[in-house]
Amino acid sequence: MRCIGIDPGLGRMGVASVLQDGRAFRLISCRCIETPPGMPLPSRLKIIFEELEELIEADSPDFMSVEKLFFGRNITTAESVWQARGVALLQAARHALPVFEPKPSQIKLAVCGYGTAPKEQVQRMSQRLLGLSFLPKPDDAADAIGAAITGFSLFAEERRISGARSNHASVSDGQG
């Protein structure tokens, strides 16, 4: 299974494709899509759209995991990041990719074992989980790796739940 993980951002969007083979993870690609700050918003969103499309077509993921956003104060920043996140969700829909949306605390929990881990620990644990000889940088790329790894957990959980529903439904159908 392949997951493309997204750490949303307008100036810099982290994108990582991760392969899961049994219990092992392997990094397929990891990078940031960057847009110039002085460029008009529609042009920046177009860059994200086009580059993300190229990555999806090159890496052929089975699903997408896009980090949910949490903003406390700066609504202007939040607005532009939400729009960039929308571009990622649109690409998922265009490519018929199921989408999982973990919260930052879920990503930290899945990767590091606790939901308040600092960004540096997410980088180090991503490196360890993927067996990388280098520390994933910048932190947006490491966060995208974390989103992808968390996506596998959410995907497996959804399959267990839907499998349990199917088994329950088939038993119920036999009794009726």
Which residues participate in catalysis according to the annotation? Answer: 7, 67, 140
Burial class (CB in 10 A: 0-12, 13-18, 19+), 108: buried
Q: How far, in Å, CA of 2 to CA of 18, rounded?
A: 6
Sheet of 2-7, strands arranged across: 24-34, 12-21, 2-7, 63-66, 99-100
The burial of 49, by beta-carbon neighbours within 10 Å (0-12 exposed, 13-18 middle, 19 or more buried), is given as: middle
> How many angstroms separate the CA atoms of 64 and 154, rounded?
11
